[in-house]
Amino acid sequence: MSQAAARFNDPLIHHWMPFTANKQFQDAPRIIARAEGVHYWNTAGDKLLDSVSGLYTTPAGHGRREIREAVTRQLEELDYAPPFQFGVPGTFRLAHELAQMLPAGLNRVFFAGSGSEAVESALKVAIQYHRVRGQGQRQRFVGRARGYHGVNFAGWSVGGMVKNRDAFGLGLPGVSHMRHTHIEPNRFVMGQGDHGGVDLADDLQRMVDLHGGDTIAACIVEPIAGSTGVLVPPKGYLERLRAICDQHGILLIFDEVICGFGRTGHPFAADAFGVTPDLMTMAKAITNGNIPMAAIAIRQDIQQAILDAAGPDAIEFFHGYTYSGHPVACAAALATLKIYRDDDLFARGAALVPKFLERIASLRDIPIVTDTRGFGLLGAVDLATDGAPGKRGFAVLRRAFESGLVLRVASDTVILSPMFITTDDQLDEMFTLLRKILAAV
Ligand code: PMP
């Protein structure tokens, strides 16, 4: 067989993998075939410890019977119905349940299929809210360097990842970025650093001074930047953002796609930090990762303004997805929220936090470790660059997989976000493995 024909028959080449070094992967695939509890199994049958909760998605553990049964029941009863001009019971039930859980004031819920879609939806709500109130000049968004708000056009534009600009160009016009919050004086701090909070947040004030506060529709941040390496906001930072937004009529959007549903040791990061946004995005753990789903929580009066501005028969918000509030996703989400309540899982996660952060901090004696940080059950370890940025991080990912540990890396930063069901022994095993791997690269 020619080399080209052999390649064509290779079952790995037809799937173009997301956020993956495809060529590298085809040469050394890492395929996960099965999961249960805190473990995966690869195709060779080797057991792997999941230290990332899927992709921050699965705090209740893999293979939850309650979710599987709820999904099956829903498929038997109603597989799908169009979400435009029709409703299904589960969507209303889920929105109602979320409204009880969310910080006070955030009690209108719009559904989407992914975190990226949730971000686009939130930004569009912000624009329309201002327009119906005669403030159509508010078209600008403020995001942050090293922010990640998904892959869609507005989301990557308000995000602050250089690689998007390298690959896709200019992005949405009218977007400004504040500095990120990972600063030298807060290095090796667990929890919130003491330094720089107000000064960093005053970047928003500088945008106001430069562009005019009444041209800015919204400021969007992850309370803790997740995907770019767990950047914890210094003390006073989010409070100061809130104050500047209030002063200038700018909507504050928290992207809680990673932080939501107990990850911070509280139901939402807004609760953890005591700062309530005007709009909040959620995804991932909303269904324990079992079915794609996302949601946007909206302040009641924001929705009301948009409803009030339209005529009695008008579609007030000209926006929605074929899979907005999919009945099967709603069934998965309702079953997930029940597990969170019945197992008191957020409290169980919170109880794990001190030991987890202590373990992350304990890695600082390893010579290649240049920073450790964390908040709740989100932790990060920066490694000194070895040649090209990302090379050492990738070596860690690869060696970890070979050693029975699934972790996440962002360039040369190792990220851990264990499940809330992780036992003390499993946490010990996770860090014993990680220490061995870091010592070996
Ligand atoms: N926002 C944040 C904060 C995220 O972490 C992510 C995904 N990691 C997204 C948005 C995008 O979500 P999705 O991949 O589901 O589109």
Same domain, yes or no: 285 and 331: yes
- 325 closest CA partner among 120, 95, 122, 106: 95
Cα(359) to ligand 1 centroid in Å equals 27
Same domain, yes or no: 214 and 230: yes
User: How many whole angstroms from its chain centre is CA 123?
Assistant: 16
Same domain, yes or no: 142 and 286: yes
Q: Which atom of ligand 1 is nearest to the CA of 222?
A: 3
Same domain, yes or no: 170 and 38: no
Cα(225) to ligand 1 centroid in Å equals 11
| Position 123 in a domain | yes
Cβ–Cβ under 8 Å, residues 285 and 59: yes
**Residue whose CB lies within 8 A of the most ligand 1 atoms, among 111, 116, 123, 282, for a mutation test:** 116
What's the pLDDT tens digit per position in 340-396?
999 999 999 999 999 999 999 999 999 999 999 999 999 999 999 999 999 999 999
In this prediction, residue 109 carries a pLDDT of 98
What's the pLDDT tens digit per position in 122-169?
999 999 999 999 999 999 999 999 999 999 999 999 999 999 999 999
410: domain CATH number is 3.90.1150.10
Cα(257) to ligand 1 centroid in Å equals 6
| Position 10 in a domain | no
Same domain, yes or no: 366 and 220: no
- Range of the structural domain that residue 127 is part of: 67-342
pLDDT (average), residues 190-212: 98
In this prediction, residue 183 carries a pLDDT of 97
In this prediction, residue 11 carries a pLDDT of 80
| Position 26 in a domain | no
> Given a cut of 80, is residue 172 above it in pLDDT?
yes
Cβ–Cβ under 8 Å, residues 265 and 225: no
ipTM of the shown complex: 0.99
Structural domains counted in the chain: 2
pLDDT (average), residues 396-422: 98
| Position 301 in a domain | yes
* Lookup: tokens for 51: 């230290």
pLDDT (average), residues 195-199: 98
**Residue whose CB lies within 8 A of the most ligand 1 atoms, among 227, 230, 261, 281, for a mutation test:** 227
In this prediction, residue 4 carries a pLDDT of 54
Give the E-state strand segments of 179-284 in sequence order. Answer: 216-221, 251-255, 279-282
pLDDT (average), residues 50-73: 98
In this prediction, residue 1 carries a pLDDT of 46
**Residue whose CB lies within 8 A of the most ligand 1 atoms, among 258, 296, 409, for a mutation test:** 258
| Position 308 in a domain | yes
| Consecutive H or E run containing 382 | strand 378-383
> Given a cut of 60, is residue 6 above it in pLDDT?
no
Angstrom distance (rounded) from CA 112 to CA 121: 8
193: domain CATH number is 3.40.640.10
Average pLDDT of the chain is 97
Same domain, yes or no: 179 and 51: no
| Position 2 in a domain | no
> Given a cut of 70, is residue 5 above it in pLDDT?
no
| Position 114 in a domain | yes
**Closest residue by CA, ligand 1 atom 12:** 115
> Given a cut of 70, is residue 104 above it in pLDDT?
yes
Same domain, yes or no: 360 and 335: no
DSSP track, 166-189: HHH-S-SSSEEEEPPS--GGGTT-
pLDDT (average), residues 67-71: 98
Cα(148) to ligand 1 centroid in Å equals 7
| Position 21 in a domain | no
Domain-ending residue, one of 301, 316, 342: 342
Same domain, yes or no: 141 and 153: yes
What's the pLDDT tens digit per position in 292-328?
999 999 999 999 999 999 999 999 999 999 999 999 9
What's the pLDDT tens digit per position in 181-194?
999 999 999 999 99
Cα(335) to ligand 1 centroid in Å equals 22
Same domain, yes or no: 323 and 359: no
Measured from CB, residues less than 6 Å from any atom of ligand 1 are: 114-116, 119, 148-150, 222, 226-227, 255, 257-258, 283
In this prediction, residue 369 carries a pLDDT of 98
Same domain, yes or no: 315 and 381: no
Domain-ending residue, one of 310, 342, 374: 342
- For residue 313, what are the CA distances in angstroms to 302, 305, 367? 19, 16, 66
Same domain, yes or no: 318 and 433: no
Same domain, yes or no: 46 and 72: no
Domain-ending residue, one of 315, 342, 369: 342
Query: How much is the pTM?
Result: 0.97
